[in-house]
Structure 1
Amino acid sequence: MPSEVALLESRTLRADHAGRVDVLEKVRALRLLPDGLHVTTEGVAEYFAVHKDAVHSVVRRHREELIANGMTTLTGDELRIDDVVKTTTSSGSPAESYPQGRSHLRVFTRRAVLNIAMLLRDSEVARCVRTYLLDTEEAPRTVIASDPRYDGLEHRVTDLEGSMARIGPALQELGPVLRRMSMRLESLDLRMETMDRRLEAVDVRLDGVDRRLDATNRVVGAMSVRLTDLSEDVADIQRRLPRPPDPRRRRRR
């Protein structure tokens, strides 16, 4: 069984254990953000019962490794995913708002938190995680080695753990992509609702135009009827008026 010191010093050994994120919850409750995937720097510091400067120190020394295990920095639209998310302290009192008042925010996946547990030296909680991680790894292998019925099963379990370790980061990386897609779909829904309202307003205006056209047609029809009646009255009056004498008849006389 590898020692705790070997785990602290060897990145390869830490990578072999990176998929065992279930150990975190067995040691202590991890306070996740409402997306169920990420923890803030303050949340990581609270979990390991250290000052957040200790977390910053680990990040500075092992940034590349932590990024590979899911640490990321949210900026821009990603910070507007949920304007009401708040972190809390261990006493349950509200801490600073997330993400209000920030231009960026560093967050960690469970895998990245486990990575910090394998790097953070001055934390009793981190030591418990490392001890539990190494002890739970050794116990089932001892049983397998002592029982001939499980010949070859150790290799299968190792392969399965490796597969789970590869699947875990893929699912964690998929989370932000799904959130961005959800944001875009929500934005598209808002645009569609705005377009629907505009189309409804256009329909109302067209209905008003149709009513005005109908009224105009009725007025024009009535005027046409009146003009027809007036033409008939003028023709009748002309027929009733006496005809003027013919000047040619006067000359003949």
Structure 2
Amino acid sequence: MRAVSLVPSLTEAIARSAPGAVAGATDWCTHPPDLDVVRVGGTKNPDTGRILSLAPDLVIANEEENRAPDLEALREAGAEVLVTEVRDVPQAFRELDRVLDACGVPSHPRWLDEAEDVWSSLPPPATRRTAVVPVWRRPWMVLGRDTFAGDVLARLGVGHVYATHPDRYPRIPLEELRAAAPDVVVLPDEPYRFTADDGPEAFRGLPCALVSGRHLTWYGPSLAEAPRVLGRALRAARP
């Protein structure tokens, strides 16, 4: 099996489960850290010619992360493309099963069993908090409806303010975000890299949690530790 993965979390999942199966990956595929494969550009602007030159048996993509015209160009050139859709945690596990099966993984890898056990055994949240979850600034964009990250937070007792917004990633003026007065502002380090000096200063007086984007938005081996890592960051939130 020769796979080219255009989705960082799925690159990690395949590489961990079928060593040697990943022939190419995007520049954003940073895990496993020792992954040594041909780089094929970004998730939004992959080099389709380079992908085809690798003669992959399968190209792995995601309907949100990758652009339809790029995937169609690969199909027209004869490549087989598997497109995933992940909007919540249960769907993530179903799609991981589908991807790993397509890549010839004969049985559930241990990390996947552990991740499913962790999420299925989560206790009901003792309390529920509200959150604003920016994913970009200039302009400010936040989590809206029907997102994987929103479902992750909801299962940890954090409901984000714009969960019923018509858009999945609405642009909201900063003044409105502040006026929502959430219990916590969740600032991931991707896709925009919020840091202690870039993000919290916009929400003075509100508790801010700097969290790992890999644990909030990736559906792969990081799922096994995501509740613990995110829970710790949320508990440590400070104004």
TM-score, normalised to structure 1's length? 0.24
Structure showing the higher helix proportion among its residues: 1
Identify the structure with bigger relative contact order (alpha carbons < 8 Å, sequence gap 6+): 1
What is the TM-score of this pair, normalised by structure 2? 0.25
Larger of the two Rg values belongs to structure: 1
Higher share in strand: 2
